[in-house]
Amino acid sequence: MAEKALYGAVALVTGASSGIGAATARRLAQDGASVALLARRRERLLQVADDIVGIGGEAHVIKADITEPGGASAAVQDTLDRFGRLDILVNNAGVMLLGTALHTRIEEWDRMVALNVAGLLHMTHAAVPYLIDAAATSPREVADIVNIGSTAARTARPGNSVYSLTKAGLSSFTESLRQELLTEQVRVSLVEPGTVATELMDQLSEAAGDVACWQMDGTEPLRAHDVADAIGYIVTRERRVAVNELLLRSGAHNW
């Protein structure tokens, strides 16, 4: 039997309790990686871990709040304590709270910045030294950071101003980080999905949800496993190949 592409590699996936994060964790496990699952909902993480074990994989559950630097650092250390290395970081955790400047509470804007921006920065800062070490010691001779952005970084729409702000900033951060880590053999990639059928939509207010449904009327959204497949493709490329950016839209999506 051929060796799986990620055999011996260790991945840490944030926001792994549902949606894109859970689907990505399962996909990376199928490709042979041991996976650290990070989120706030331990019960949901345990369900994903059971799924991975059921397909012959190895998973480790980490409940943490990455909006605090200490939470992110502890999560990376927990991964190292369990698996001994870190080869892949998928920065997926995020929240989308839509609303206009007139009607949105400032706490909702702060929540998006705290998780979508600060949380990602905390995880990246904590993980980079170990990813560099993994690239130098792995048979694959490469490590990966995959950041999950959004088409909202490209197309701003009424009600998504701060969400678009967080994702547009992520795009620039990813490109700068990619250049910084080139010589360290750590690939940095950005995946920008359009609308995906996940729990992210469930967090919207009734009014914002109605607007989102109207915008997607007649369009079948992406599924979480569609995005997971894209991430799996990126991190299983041989060392000479770097997929810097991957834009995913529903086949009928016009923005």
Residue 18 confidence (pLDDT): 96
Check residue 3 and give its pLDDT: 80
CATH assignment, 10-242: 3.40.50.720
Active site residue 163: yes
**For residue 59, pLDDT beyond 70:** yes
For residues 53-67, give the mean pLDDT.
97
pLDDT band of residue 213 (cuts 50, 70, 90) is low
Contact 135, 142 (CB under 8 A): yes
In the predicted model, is pLDDT for residue 33 greater than 80?
A: yes
What's the rounded mean pLDDT across residues 198-220? 57
Per-residue confidence at 16, pLDDT binned at 50, 70, 90?
Answer: very high
Q: Extract the tokens encoding 148.
A: 């999950």
Query: In the prediction, which pLDDT does 224 show?
Result: 96
Give the type of residue at 100: T
Q: Identify the pLDDT of residue 220.
A: 85
245: phi then psi, degrees, rounded to nearest 5: -150, 135
* pLDDT tier at 217, thresholds 50, 70, 90: low
Cβ-contact 129, 85 below 8 angstroms: no
- In sequence order, the 6+-apart residues with CB closer than 8 A to the CB of 222 are 193, 194, 195, 196, 197, 248, 249, 250
Q: What percent of the chain has pLDDT over 70?
A: 90
Q: Which of 7, 130, 163, 233 is catalytic?
A: 163
Report the side by side order of strands in the sheet with 143-148.
59-63, 34-39, 10-14, 88-91, 143-148, 186-193, 245-248
pLDDT in tens, 72-117: 999 999 999 999 999 999 999 999 999 999 999 999 999 999 999 9
Average pLDDT over residues 124-152: 97
Question: Is the CB of residue 234 less than 8 Å from the CB of residue 191?
Answer: yes
11 close to 79: Cβ distance less than 8 angstroms: no
| pLDDT score, position 248 | 95
